[in-house]
Amino acid sequence: MPPLSFILHIHQPKSQAYFQIQLLGTWSTTTMDAISSTIHHHNTAAAVHRPVSNMFPKLLALQPLAIHDSHSKPKKSSRSAVESLSHLLHLRMETPEQKLIVQQSNWNLQFDHEEKHNTPAMSPREDVSDKWREIHGSQDWESLLNPLHPWLRREIVKYGEFAQASYDAFDFDSFSEYCGSCRYRENRLFEKLGISKHGYKVSKYIYAMSQMDVPQWLERSRIAETWSKDSNWMGFVAVSGDEESNRIGRRDVVVAWRGTVAPSEWYEDMQRKLEPIGHGEAKVERGFLSIYTSKCEATRYNKSSASEQVMEEVKRLVEIYKGRGEEVSLTITGHSLGGALALLNAYEAANTIPNLPISVISFGAPRVGNIAFRDELHQIGVKTLRVVLKQDVVPRMPGIVFNESLQKFDDFIGTLEWVYTHVGAELRLDAGSSPYLKRGLNLLGFHMLETYLHVVDGFLSTSSTYRSNARRDVALVNKCCDMLVDELRIPPCWYQMENKGLVCNAHGRWVKTRRDPEDIPSPTRDQEVHVHGIEMRESCERFEPLLSV
């Protein structure tokens, strides 16, 4: 079979930016601010077998056959042909006018006399207890978003860091028998990641599997004997400690859902077909629903589904704290695929637990369901704040292509009822507001959660420049991508283990360290936790002293 091949044209028209993709001989057009390109797709043998919405994200992984830029001379070297598409786009779109207010040198060098590095990487905490309902979205965040209320900004970053924890602690090592699990046990996750400062405590881990073929979703160990062949760690339930609960005016139960990271993964997160959810007209994307609801008696970690695991724990915690007469809220967060799961989770929670304020704070999440799904969520009182970077393409998916070219693909998407739709309030941000970020197009970089958190941290209003007193550490942006301007001297993709976990033993041999037995996942231990629900009140108490840190 001849392979796919692309010719990519990049134009930079005056101000109107547009995006075109030709598939199966048909052009579909959609606007994408700041991006302006024409992607010409040849040889569509493979496309016949695939939904068009699956085709488009493939571009991210494929190498272009040829690059033409109408505004610059063709490069003499053949090198351009071998660069990755995103890297190329990135280079080409770099604008010379890019203004940098960045200090020229010695930025993140450890100079103790530099005040910048002696400032805590966090803004001061304020007591928001009398405003918590508004911050939690009771008024749909009306008049809190532009300008962004500083108290809300702080909460958004907090939830975002919980979602980020689900990436940072994930074991991606395919040579580890624990590949796909969390590297740390529940009670030390936050401490290990340096976010115990938020004053929450993890109460339960959530595992998910998918019975549907959701390609490339599952991280699997290459080793025969592994902790689980079917399941991945998919997030956690946490609850605010006494001190934080006092500050925020209620006991806050948080669910954080892990998303996916690399383009090779997230372009597959998408859309196959919509499937009904609930008892009405609501429909959601089948792949997301499969991850949320799949279970299998033969597995170790998904004898119950992610849905069942999370709902059981949330109900248990809500009962405990309501039983104590406390006010309780549920906040569900997630990035990318995690944001989609957060919505499904909120839908279920709102339909199951009465009189509980439920909010979703999602980052770069794709569309999940149809208009009826959106309307039902609204009706049952789920408040959704979608944080969206205008440079990120994922929130346009599913839909970026086929919303525009509906009539061509109705065998796939059926009728208009199937058009995916976004729900809730949107906090729309522009990565261009940050002087620390490279210009140009970096499809992966603009989707990374750390990039989102950096831009949120500096956002004042759509008419303001980046907040000068933003404190969050800029270096975090480059953990897993290459988004920071060179002047900062932060290496790209720096988040890595020394020697990938190998250590040299006393005999001069490089050996793998075993995981601390404390941190080895155990389905039995987890089961105990929810079997002895009553006892857990005591374990909850035992968490408290740690929360006052």
Q: Which residues bind its own copies (CB under 8 A)?
A: 1-5, 46, 49, 58, 61-63, 65-67, 74-78, 80-82, 105, 108-110, 116-122, 173, 175, 194, 222-225, 473, 475-476, 486, 489-491, 493-505, 507-514
Report d(CA 390, CA 447) in Å as an integer. 10
Cβ distance to its own copies smaller for residue 463 or 513:
513
Cβ distance to its own copies smaller for residue 147 or 501:
501
Smallest distance from its own copies to CB 270, Å = 16
Task: Name the amino acid, one letter, at 484.
Answer: L
CB atoms within 10 A of CB 87: 17
Smallest distance from its own copies to CB 285, Å = 22
Q: Find, among 212, 198, 186, 203, the residue nearest to 159 by Cα.
A: 198
Q: Is 127 a known active-site residue?
A: no
Q: Is 37 a known active-site residue?
A: no
Cβ distance to its own copies smaller for residue 27 or 495:
495
Q: Find, among 254, 252, 229, the residue nearest to 166 by Cα.
A: 254
Estimate the crossing angle of helix 371-379 against helix 337-352, to 10 degrees: 50
Contact 474, 466 (CB under 8 A): no
Smallest distance from its own copies to CB 482, Å = 11
Name the CA dihedral angle for 100, 102, 104, 110, rounded to a multiple of 10 degrees: -160
Report d(CA 469, CA 48) in Å as an integer. 52
Smallest distance from its own copies to CB 456, Å = 17
HSE toward the beta carbon, residue 367, CA cutoff 13 A:
25
Whole-number Cα distances in Å, 8 to 39, 42, 146, 313, 488: 5, 11, 37, 49, 31
Smallest distance from its own copies to CB 487, Å = 9
The SS3 call for residue 475 is: helix
The active-site residue out of 173, 269, 392, 526 is 392
Q: Is 336 a known active-site residue?
A: yes
Burial of 112 (0-12, 13-18, 19+ CB in 10 A): exposed
CA 341 to chain centre: 10
Which DSSP symbol is given to 409? G
Burial of 222 (0-12, 13-18, 19+ CB in 10 A): exposed
Q: Find, among 74, 51, 111, the residue nearest to 414 by Cα.
A: 51
The active-site residue out of 181, 336, 362, 434 is 336
Smallest distance from its own copies to CB 226, Å = 11
DSSP codes joined into one string, 292-331: HH---TTSSS-SS-HHHHHHHHHHHHHHHHHHTT--EEEE
The beta strands (E) that lie in 488-545 are given as: 502-504, 510-512
The active-site residue out of 41, 447, 457, 526 is 447
Smallest distance from its own copies to CB 496, Å = 6
Smallest distance from its own copies to CB 309, Å = 30
Residue with tokens 């028998």: 177
Provide the annotated active-site residues. 336, 392, 447
